[in-house]
């Protein structure tokens, strides 16, 4: 049996997908991140890693592993706050 | 556990969910919903839930970036767009003073080479022509070299006067140059070949006649025809073998010049004058006569003008000649001379002819 938290996560996720909220949130996040330049920064970082590692040896998993921590740090607070607010609103609306 | 009891609830509230999930699925959803409702009551739970959701969304965005970069790298787009590092560094903009943007000096430096022959530093563009001249190969190099030699020898001959071995060599070289030049330019008159003192121009003729010594006049008359023209009253300055005038005319002129006798129209009278005036010097003349005869023979038969006449043609009198042309003249001479006073000479001449 799944953990309660995971269950909860799954349910939330599903709800998000079903209402189409996830998609909307995704797009919104992508837009915000591009506007603030987060995307380009991360891309540059990824290219550096590729240059270091060599063109042929690089894999998706490698890149993901390398980039994710920095990606998470680089996100500006405003974007984070906005995202969280949106999600909360949605959940609140859902629970109603 | 509560699944069967809640089915009805689900069916009432979330009919669409039932349709989507089916029997079992619908039940589960219903459970989750309840969980959701209960758990989200607390703000911490809400916060936690929100965080997790945002995290997930973020991961998704990152993945998106990763995919994009990875794809461009693998398909070679990255290479095209960015290029390799080395190339970047090669073409970086140069900001140094005195150099242009590419890092080049404003004036192109000429490649310098050292000539193997003369060990001089030469510009590359001038290297090939210099080698031609230096080594003496190529079209113009020999001409230039010979001209240089000529110039240097001319200077030497001008500066030194008098005989030394070098001067002789130089003279010989100069003569060779002169002769070669004349060969190449046939338009040059033969008079120009005369070495040293030449009096071929009319100006010189006039002055020599007026002011020159006998020797000078003789020398001059050795080279030019000298017959005075009726129209212009000037001496003919053509060569000794000038076709317009005969030897008799020339002799008459010489007599006039050197002896000052009056008429020159008839050769006989001049001949007479010659014979009378020359009676004293006959013995000497006789010796000369032979030579003169040879000279006259040469005049008649030889075409080469380079031989210098050691004695003047004016000295020649009626002579013993074996040539036919002059024999006729001698014949006429002897006939006329027979009437003259000096019979000895004439008789001797006549006997020879007979």
Per-residue pLDDT tens digits for B33-86: 555 556 556 778 778 888 888 888 899 989 988 888 888 888 877 777 666 666
What one-character DSSP code corresponds to residue B314? G
Per-residue pLDDT tens digits for B84-137: 666 667 777 767 776 777 767 777 777 888 888 888 888 888 888 888 888 888
B111 versus B281: the higher-pLDDT residue is: B111
- The confidence score (pLDDT) of residue B7 equals 47
Pairing of strands B121-123, B112-114: antiparallel
- The confidence score (pLDDT) of residue A57 equals 75
Out of A4, A29, A94, closest to residue B57 by CB: A29
pLDDT of B291 over the 80 cut = no
Report the mean per-residue pLDDT for chain B.
Answer: 65
- What is the DSSP code string of B76-90? THHHHHH--HHHHHH
Strand (E) or helix (H) holding B121: strand B121-123
- The confidence score (pLDDT) of residue B224 equals 85
Per-residue pLDDT tens digits for B143-199: 778 888 888 888 877 765 544 555 555 556 565 555 555 555 555 445 444 444 444
Percentage of chain B modeled with pLDDT above 90: 0
Q: Give the residue among B261, B265, B257 at the shortest CA–CA distance from B275.
A: B261
- The confidence score (pLDDT) of residue A31 equals 92
- List all residues 6 or more positions away from B231 whose beta carbon is below 8 Å from its beta carbon: none
- The confidence score (pLDDT) of residue B289 equals 47
B76 versus B26: the higher-pLDDT residue is: B76
- The confidence score (pLDDT) of residue B337 equals 46
- The confidence score (pLDDT) of residue A27 equals 92
Backbone angles phi, psi at B262, to 5 degrees: -75, -70
B interface test, pick of A1, A4, A7 with most B CB neighbours within 10 Å: A7
pTM passes above 0.80: no
A82 contacts on B by Cβ (under 8 Å)? none
Residues of chain A with pLDDT under 50: none
Q: Is B307 exposed, middle or buried (0-12, 13-18, 19+ CB in 10 A)?
A: exposed
Number of Cα atoms under 13 Å in the Cβ half of residue B176 = 11
Q: What is the ipTM of this complex?
A: 0.90
What the block records as the tokens of B186 is 């046939």
Contact across the interface for A26 and B60, Cβ inside 8 Å = yes
Strand (E) or helix (H) holding B193: none
Contact across the interface for B58 and A72, Cβ inside 8 Å = yes
Least trusted range by pLDDT, from A61-65, B149-153, B246-250, B341-345: B341-345
Nearest chain B Cα to A82, which residue? B54
């Amino acid at each position: 049996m799944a953990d309660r938290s995971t269950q909860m996560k799954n349910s939330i996720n599903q709800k998000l997908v079903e209402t189409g909220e996830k998609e909307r949130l995704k797009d919104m996040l992508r837009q915000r991140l591009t506007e603030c330049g987060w995307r380009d920064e991360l891309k540059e970082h990824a290219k550096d890693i590729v240059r270091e590692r060599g063109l042929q040896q690089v894999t998706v998993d490698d890149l993901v592993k390398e980039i994710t921590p920095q990606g998470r740090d680089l996100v500006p607070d405003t974007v984070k706050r906005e995202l969280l607010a949106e999600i909360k609103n949605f959940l609140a609306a859902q629970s109603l | 556990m509560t699944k069967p009891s809640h089915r009805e609830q689900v069916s009432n509230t979330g009919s669409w969910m039932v349709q989507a999930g089916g029997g079992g699925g619908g039940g589960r959803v219903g459970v989750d919903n309840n969980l959701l409702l209960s758990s989200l009551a607390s703000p911490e739970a809400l916060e936690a839930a929100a965080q997790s959701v945002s995290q997930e969304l973020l991961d998704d965005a990152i993945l998106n970036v990763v995919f994009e970069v990875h794809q461009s790298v693998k398909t070679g787009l990255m290479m095209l767009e960015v290029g390799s590092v080395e190339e970047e560094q090669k073409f970086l903009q140069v900001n140094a003073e005195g150099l242009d943007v590419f890092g080049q000096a404003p004036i192109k430096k000429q490649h310098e080479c050292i000539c193997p022959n003369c060990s001089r530093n030469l510009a590359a563009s001038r290297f090939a022509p210099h080698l031609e001249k230096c080594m003496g190969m190529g079209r113009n190099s020999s001409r230039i070299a010979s001209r240089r030699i000529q110039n240097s020898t001319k200077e030497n001959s001008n500066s030194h006067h008098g005989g030394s071995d070098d001067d002789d060599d130089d003279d010989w070289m100069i003569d060779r140059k002169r002769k070669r030049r004349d060969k190449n330019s046939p338009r040059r008159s033969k008079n120009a070949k005369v070495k040293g003192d030449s009096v071929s121009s009319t100006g010189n003729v006039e002055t020599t006649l007026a002011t020159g010594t006998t020797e000078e006049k003789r020398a001059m008359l050795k080279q030019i025809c000298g017959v005075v023209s009726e129209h212009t009253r000037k001496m003919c300055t053509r060569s000794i073998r000038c076709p317009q005038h005969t030897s008799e005319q020339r002799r008459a002129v010489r007599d006039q010049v050197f002896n000052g006798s009056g008429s020159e129209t008839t050769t006989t009278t001049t001949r007479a004058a010659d014979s009378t005036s020359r009676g004293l010097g006959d013995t000497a003349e006789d010796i000369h006569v032979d030579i003169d005869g040879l000279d006259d023979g040469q005049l008649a038969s030889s075409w080469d003008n380079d031989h210098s006449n050691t004695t003047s043609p004016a000295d020649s009198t009626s002579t013993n000649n074996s040539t036919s042309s002059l024999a006729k003249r001698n014949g006429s001479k002897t006939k006329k001379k027979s009437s003259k006073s000096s019979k000895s000479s004439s008789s001797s001449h006549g006997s020879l002819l007979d």
